[in-house]
Structure 1
Amino acid sequence: MRYQLSLMLYRLVFLGLLPIAWLLLQLRSIKQKAYRQRIGERFGFLPRQFKAGGIIVHAASVGEVIALKSFISQLLETKPNRVITVTTFTPTGSEQVKKLFGERVQHCYLPLDSTFCVAAFLNKLKPQAMVFMETELWPNLIAQSAEQGIKLLLINGRLSQKSMDSYRKLAWLITPTINRFDKVLCQSQVNYEHFLALGADVARCKVSGNVKFDISVNQTIEDKQQELAEFVVTERLIWVVASTHKGDESIALNAFTELLKSLPQLLLIIVPRHPERFNDVASLCLAQGYNLARRSTQEKVTSDKQVWLLDSLGELLPTCALASVVTMGGSFSDIGGHNPLEPALFKKPIVVGPNMSNFVEVMQQLIAEQGIIQLTDQDNVDMTDELSKVITDILLSEKTQQTLGENAYRVVTQNQGASARSVKQLLKLL
C-alpha cells in the first residue's frame, strides 16, 4: 500500500514537472539544436511506421550505446526477425545508434517518466521485454511495464556506495521499483551486495560481469582509423585527451605547455564529451596561443599544428588507435571519469585523474595488472605538474608504452563475455 501511494505521489509530481521539462529541453536546444527536434518522442508520440511487439533496449547516451553494442549485436544475430527498438535520452546517443546499427533497429527517445507519456509509448510499441542498463530506474515506466506483463531486465547493474546512500532516502519508492525487474544482472560482486543491501530480492539478482569489457574492433572502426590517420601529415607522438568536461581542457593545456619544452613536435588531440562545448574548447585553445586545427573544417594537421580538436561525433574509439598515450577526461573533477577500456582495446598506455568513481572495479583490475596510471594529487596546480611529468615519462619510453598497453589489453580480454550471458538471460525470460 505504501508503495502504491508513493508511486501515485511520484506520478503527480512528475506530471506537474512536465512544463518545466519542456522548458529545459528548449533551453538546452539553444546550444544544441537537436534537443528541439523530435520533441514528440519525449512525450511518447512515436513515428507511425514503428512496429510493435519486440524488445526495447535503453541506452541513455553515447557511452551506454557503445557499451551495449555487443549486447545489441548478439541480440540481432540471435533474433533476426524480432523488432529491436533502441532508446536514448541524448541526441549524441541517438546519432551513435544510427551509426552503429542503421536500419537494423528502430530508434527513438525514451519518453519522460509521466503517466500519459509512458502510456502512449507502451501502447505504440507493445514490447515483450524492456532492457535497462546500470542504474536506469524510472519508477513509472517500470511500474506500467510490469503491470502490462512486459518482461523487465536490468543488465550491467551498477550501484555505487554514493548512489546507494542516496537511494536509501527514497527506499520506499526505489526498492519496490528494483523488485519489479524479473532479473537484475550485476557487473560485480560489490554491486550485487549493494543491490541486496538496498532491499533487492536475492532470487532476482546475480553477477554476470561488465558488458563494457565486450568491445572489439570492426571494419568500420578500422576504416575510420585510416581516415583520421590521413589527416595527420607528419609522423608524430600523439597525446589524446578524451571525453573532456569543463576544466579538463585547462589542466591538459597547461600540462601540454610543459610537455612541448622537451617534446616540441607532440600533437595534442582533444575530444570533448559534449558537442555544445566544441566552440568553447576551440576558443580556449586559441586564447592560450596554440595553433589549432579542427576536425569539422577537414583541414590537414600539418607539422605546425599543435592541437587537433575532434569536434565530431562517434570518432573517439578510432582516435584512440592513433594515440601514443591516452588520458581520460571526467577524472579530474566530480564527474567520476569515463571508460578507460576503450584505449585499452588498442593496447594504449592510459593515464587518468584522481576521480574514477564510475569505474571502481575496472580501475581495481587495471591497477592490479599495472595497466593504468592514476594521478594522486587533488590540487589543480600540482595535478598539472604531475600530469606533465607522467606523460613525459611514458612518451620517452617505448618499453613503458608497450608494457602499460599490453597489460591493459589483457584486462579487457580476460573479462569479456557479459553481453552473451545477458542475452542468454533475456531469451530465458522470453
Structure 2
Amino acid sequence: MIARYIYTLIFYLAIPLVMIRLFYRALKSPAYWPRIPERFGVTPSPMLHNSIWVHAVSVGETIAAVPLIKQLQQRYPESSVVITTMTPTGSARVSALLGDSVFHVYSPYDLPVAINAFLKRIQPKLLIIMETELWPNTIYACSQRSIPVVLANARLSEKSAAGYQRFGPLTQPMLGALSKVVAQSQADADRFLALGLNSAQIQVSGSIKFDISISETLQDQSRRLKDHWTGKGKKLIWIAASTREGEDATILRAFEQLAERWPNLLLLLVPRHPERFKQVAELSRRAGFNTMLRSSADTLSEQTQVIIGDTMGELLLFYGCADIAFVGGSLVDTGGHNMLEAAAWGLPIITGESNFNFAEISQLLQANSALVTVNDSESLAEQVGLFIDSPEHRSETGDRAKAVIASNRGSLDRLLDAINEFM
C-alpha cells in the first residue's frame, strides 16, 4: 500500500513533465492535440453501464484484440465494448478495424483522479488488459469496485520480469488483485509465478495472435495494390515493416547492395511511428533513391525504388503486397515486433536478433525453418538476395510460416472460456 502511495505521489509530481512531453509529441504528431483530455479521464462518451473495457497499448495488441472483441460483441450483445489505446497508431487500427462498433478513447493515465473519472463514465463490469500493460492504480481502483481484471494473451519477457522484480512491494499487491492471467506460454506463466502470482490465478492458452484471419476483401485490396505497384508482376516487393530509429539506415544500405543486382526490386519501408515518416523519406532520398510516399498523389513510375508506408492502419494490407518481409524493432534493442502478420500472408520472414518480446513465437518460427535472423546490412542483403534468387525457396519458407499459424490456432476459444467465468 505504501509503495503505491509513493508511486502515485511521484506520478503527480511528474505531471508538469508529462504535459511538456504531451505538447512536444503533439507538435510532431498533431493527432495528439484534441485528445489530450482523454489522458486525464475526460471523455466524450455517453454514460455507459456494464460495459466491457479492453485495453490494448498499441498496434500489435490492438490487432490481436480485434478477433477477441468481435467474439465478445457476439456473445454479450447487451454490453458495450470500450477499447483504450496509448498511441495514435493503435487508435488508427481501432478505427480501421472496428469503426463505430466500439467506443474508443486513449487510456487515462494511472492517476486516481483520472482513473476514477473514467470508471465512473464507462462503468465496466470487466477489464481485459492485453498482454502486459499493468498499472497499479488502475488495477487497485477496479478491485475496490469489484470489477474483475483479466490479463489476456499475457506475455512477460525476462527483461520485463526483472524490471517488475525490482519493484516487488508495488508489483506483488498489483498481481494479487488480478482476477486471472491467461498466459501465452508456460515460460511466461513461470515468470509471473516467480513474481508472486498465485498459481490458481493463471492458465496457459497460447497466443491469440495465431488466430489472425485475413478477409477476402483485404486479399482483393492487396492484389490490386500489388498489381499497381509492380506493373502486374514485373517487380518484387521487399517490405521492411515497423522499423525503429536506427534501423532505416541499415535497411537502406542493404537495399543499395540489392538494387545494383536487381534494379526491379521495390522497397516498401514502413516506420513504426508516424512522427518519423517524413524523416525516413528524407533519409531515403539522401541515400539517392527515387522515393514515393504512399499517401502522396504522385504516380508510381518505372524509376520509383522506395515507397514509404506513411499511412495509418495499412500494415496488414502492405504485407499482402510483399514477396519478402523484414520485421523491424529487431536490429535495435527494442525486442522486435509481431511476425505473425507476415506469416499469415505466407511470406518468408527476416528479423534482427532482438526478439525478446516475441521469444516463443520467434523460436517456433525458427524451429520450423520459417524465420531467418540477421545482424547487419550485409547479412540482411544476403538473405533477401537468397529469397529473390530462388522463388522455390521463397515459396517454401512462406508456406512453412503459414503452416505455423494454422497449427497453433485455438487460443482465442480458450481465452474466451476463461473470460466467461467473470461475465
1:388 matched residue in structure 2: 381
Q: Give the C-alpha shift of residue 63 in structure 1.
A: 1.4
Distance 2:217 2:25 in 1: 31
| Secondary structure in 2 matching 1:103 | helix
Distance 2:218 2:57 in 1: 22
| Alignment check: 8 A CA contact 2:230 2:236 kept | no
Q: Give the C-alpha shift of residue 151 in structure 1.
A: 0.9
Identity percentage over the alignment?
37
1:86 matched residue in structure 2: 83
Q: Give the C-alpha shift of residue 295 in structure 1.
A: 0.8
Provide structure 1 residue ranges, at least 5 long, that are not aligned to the other structure. Answer: 378-382
2:103 matched residue in structure 1: 106
CA deviation vs aligned residue, 1:163-187 (integer Å, no higher than 9, x gap): 1111111011111101111100110
Q: Give the C-alpha shift of residue 340 in structure 1.
A: 0.9
Distance 2:94 2:271 in 1: 19
| Secondary structure in 2 matching 1:312 | coil
One-letter identity of the residue aligned with 2:251: A
Among candidates 32, 46, 50, match of residue 49 of structure 1: 46
Distance 1:334 1:298 in 2: 36
| Alignment check: 8 A CA contact 1:113 1:140 kept | yes
CA separation of 1:345/1:48 partners in 2, compared to 1, >3 Å: closer, same or farther?
Answer: closer
CA deviation vs aligned residue, 1:151-171 (integer Å, no higher than 9, x gap): 110011111111111111101
Distance 2:120 2:47 in 1: 12
1:21 matched residue in structure 2: 18
| Secondary structure in 1 matching 2:28 | coil
Q: Give the C-alpha shift of residue 18 in structure 1.
A: 2.2
1:281 matched residue in structure 2: 280
Q: Give the C-alpha shift of residue 220 in structure 1.
A: 4.1
Distance 1:91 1:173 in 2: 29
CA deviation vs aligned residue, 1:362-417 (integer Å, no higher than 9, x gap): 01110111111112x4xxxxx21111111111111011011110111111111112
| Secondary structure in 2 matching 1:241 | strand
One-letter identity of the residue aligned with 1:148: R
- Does the alignment pair 1:32 with 2:29? yes
Provide structure 2 residue ranges, at least 5 long, that are not aligned to the other structure. Answer: none
Distance 1:286 1:31 in 2: 21
Distance 2:227 2:369 in 1: 32
Distance 1:126 1:81 in 2: 14
CA deviation vs aligned residue, 1:239-283 (integer Å, no higher than 9, x gap): 111111112111111111111122111111101111100110111
One-letter identity of the residue aligned with 1:101: L
Structure 1 length normalisation: TM-score?
0.95
2:263 matched residue in structure 1: 264
| Alignment check: 8 A CA contact 1:224 1:315 kept | no
2:404 matched residue in structure 1: 411
Q: Give the C-alpha shift of residue 227 in structure 1.
A: 4.6
Q: Judge which range, 192-201 or 62-71, deviates more.
A: 62-71
CA deviation vs aligned residue, 1:178-221 (integer Å, no higher than 9, x gap): 11111001100100100001110000011011111111101442
| Alignment check: 8 A CA contact 2:58 2:91 kept | yes
Correspondences of 1:20-419 after superposition (within 5 Å)? 20-232=17-229, 234=231, 235-375=234-374, 377=375, 383-419=376-412
Distance 1:48 1:390 in 2: 50
| Secondary structure in 2 matching 1:283 | helix
One-letter identity of the residue aligned with 1:325: I
Q: Give the C-alpha shift of residue 355 in structure 1.
A: 1.1
| Alignment check: 8 A CA contact 1:15 1:115 kept | no
2:417 matched residue in structure 1: 424
Among candidates 1, 4, 9, match of residue 6 of structure 2: 9
Structure 2 length normalisation: TM-score?
0.97
1:380 matched residue in structure 2: none
Distance 2:199 2:365 in 1: 29
| Alignment check: 8 A CA contact 1:233 1:302 kept | no
Distance 2:155 2:120 in 1: 30
| Secondary structure in 1 matching 2:295 | helix
| Secondary structure in 2 matching 1:331 | coil
Q: Judge which range, 298-307 or 134-143, deviates more.
A: 298-307
Matched pairs, number: 421
| Secondary structure in 1 matching 2:405 | helix
One-letter identity of the residue aligned with 2:103: Q
| Secondary structure in 1 matching 2:401 | helix
Q: Give the C-alpha shift of residue 298 in structure 1.
A: 3.1
CA separation of 1:22/1:263 partners in 2, compared to 1, >3 Å: closer, same or farther?
Answer: same
Distance 2:208 2:131 in 1: 10
| Secondary structure in 1 matching 2:336 | coil
Distance 2:254 2:4 in 1: 50
Distance 1:300 1:57 in 2: 40
Distance 2:353 2:343 in 1: 19
One-letter identity of the residue aligned with 1:61: S
One-letter identity of the residue aligned with 2:247: D
